Structure 1
Amino acid sequence: MQGQPDTFRDAHLAAIVNHSSDAIVSKDLNGIVMSWNAAAERLFDIPAADMIGNSIRRIIPADRQGEEDAILARVRGGELVPKFETMRLRADGTLIPVAITVSPIRDAEGTIIGASKIANDLREQATLRAELLQSRQRFEALANNIPQLAWMADREGWLFWYNQRWYDYTGTTLDEMQGWGWRAVHHPDHVDRVVEHVQRSWDTGEPWTDTFPLRGKDGDYRWFLTQAQPLRDDNGEVILWCGTNTDITEERETNERIRLLMNEVNHRSRNIMATIQAIIQRTVGDSDPDLVDALTRRISALSANQDLLTSGNWIGVTVADIAQSQILHVSDISEGRVEFDGPDDVKLKPAAAEALGLAIHELATNAAKYGALSNAKGRVALRWRVEERDGAAMLDLEWRERDGPPVVSPTRSGFGTTIIKRNPAMAMRAQVTLDYAPDGVVWRVLAPADVLATAASKEALQTGD
């Protein structure tokens, strides 16, 4: 009766060992295998019959035999060998990674008679580690070889990582830069503005774009364009921020040189136009004052267009600025007799802007002499829209006069008609109509959207503004 519980316990223990997913092996103090469970057979591909009674050193690589000497020495001293990672051999000589724990085995009197070894298969973990290491190496190679300075911050905006280019440029360390330490390399004239802007993005989760100078390790400042995007989880919550700083110092300097050159060109062209005006006045003089006036006005209109294009770096000019600039030469728009109706952000490319400016100037001059602006109650409405026509975006612009003197169609077409009709038609590839309606002149331009110089026109098209 007394042996029954021991028998049950032994059987229960044997079942646990044999059905364990870990390799469980016992050996004597000389390293001779005494037991070898089913998991050990699967892991090392060696049957128990081939291992029991033989040395455990069969599965230990030649360059790791010293491990077994150290393990046996520690077991003889009664020590538990905590889990450690190493390599072992399968039957075909293949190396496999394992994690091993070794415990002393004692007899009934407490004498150490052997050791119990548990081996965990680490092949899957090793594969994952290798993939993770490769992924990390690729990320570091990419992050450290892009031309930008790069960084990452947590959801609250605490910066915890920079790429190597950041450290190379600033000469700083992570300890100095983490969190809000980056403020130390910002220019004192800009840092408060930058902090305010970036905090707004941290708080709202909106992407951040800004331009500011950063101090290099040589003490000099260079200008950078900074952009940061939030990375969100499946629920849309921000989990971290990824940002880059792109050096735009040369670009800014180049743009400044171009601006200075354009201002110089514009200044010289204005001098040339002034010289041409003087030549016209001296050549024609009082013999044809109308001709002198017409030429002078048109040269002034061209000069005004040049000023607008130069101030816009010759990228483009808004329709609103063109119209107001040209009409101011002939009428005080503050009186409210000229109505402007159109999006403020619709820009025209230089060639289209020049053609439109001269045309509006000619229309305004004619309106002041003969049309709606020649009496006390006449009015002019200038309207422009970006609209879709037959699947294509079009610029639709209209000049309409009302309440002026009765309109009389001209009996001949002069240079003014060329400026109003043919010039915009060619420069803007537009359909241009000029109607001398009895109740007021109506001039209309319908041009393809590729004369526009800004993507803002797309917003106007979508909103219907």
Structure 2
Amino acid sequence: MRDTDTTPGDFPGEEERQFDEPRSDLTTQDILEALPEAVYTTDAKGCITFYNKAASAMWGIAPQIGMSEFCSSWKLYWPDGTPLPHDECPMATALRERKAIRGLDVVAERPDGTRVSFLAFPTPVFDAEGNLIGAVNMLVDLTEQLITDEAAQRFRAIVESSDDAILAKDLNGRIVNWNQGAERLFGYSAEEAIGKPVTMLIPMDRHNEELNILSRIRRGERIDHYETIRRRKDGSLIEISLSVSPIRSRDGRIIGASKIARDITERRRAEERQQLLIREMDHRVKNLFTLAGSLVTLSARSAATPADLAFTVSARLNALSQAHSLTVPRKSEATDRREQQTTLHALIKTITAPYDDEVDIQSRIAISGPDIAIAGGALTSLALLLHEFTTNAAKYGALSVPEGRVEISCADEGDHITLDWSERGGPTADHQTQDDGFGTLLVSATVQGQLGGEISRDWKPQGLSIHLMAAKDRLGT
């Protein structure tokens, strides 16, 4: 229990304390009670003779005056968790060795199980003859400091492990902190960078940027996601996104700036690829609309009825759709890469498949010669031509009768390719019927204009023969 009748003379050394006039009504006990840190006293044997409210709060218990020894902590531990006997605590050691101990780190466990880290400052007290009469101890709670230190350590760990370059500079523009991300991004080690002007990272033609940044920082402004160019140690330039924030002292003064720099090279490349893709898509969509409009206009010239027009346009658009499906990349299981599989043979088979009704398990359409890669606009042009050849054969030629056959021979002639379409077993070819309408327009618009080639037709007794030549550099490969 507390000794509320304790007089000032009961505290070691108090009889020697002198006060200037006029005397105050404050006692030593009043002063010790008002201290924010834990303070207590013992006699020469270590029994507690006084403690303030801060000490009781730290211990989580109220000791018995004259009974509790050395300190009133429920349990004590060293910082590594090893139990610390009360008779080996800092106060006991100071009394036993008759010397002051300064700032020994100890952990106290309260009766409720919570723990508190503190620094102990026990000091023996001697009388005028040098006899030990007791001791006074002050306990400094480290809880808040440990929380702050732990937070600071976590922050340092985050900064060091960040992929972004994080650095700090003073108001003179000199680098004072440099993380591993900065080493990776700029190529300088921390030893090479710290103490150097940050302008070593800035190209000569951009030095005015640093003056502007420092000016804004001094005004307390933040700079977010400022995109600029910096120079690496090897002299290469790199595009970065820069965020800059003021660093303030405890009293609120701006003393420097922190910078976060992020490499945006890949993002820039991705944006460029995206813009290229958008432009290409825009170009292709416009071409599709133009092509569709041309198909309708040209098909209308030979259509007898609206239904005939609708059927013809639909068939031709379907042929283009089938041809386009050949350009969709597919994944190769062997190489785990995406490959484009578009060839002349594949295109011919795709366009003629609806008309190739097999007879005696034999295809009515035979394809021979080298398989030649095609892509881009050539695919559309060849698809339209092959569609016209096939539909004409189905209407008027070899594919209009069960016994008819078509032989298609491909050849690589160096700077150009050739395709020979030969019909056999069909009705007698009618020059006039097959020479009118859309097919004639294709010769000038498609073969000569888009494929850089020529086309000729020969109406032989056994069936129509078509010879098509196209420039290889127009095939898009």
TM range (shorter): 0.3 to 0.5
What is the TM-score of this pair, normalised by structure 2? 0.41
Structure number with greater Rg is: 2
TM-score, normalised relative to structure 1: 0.41
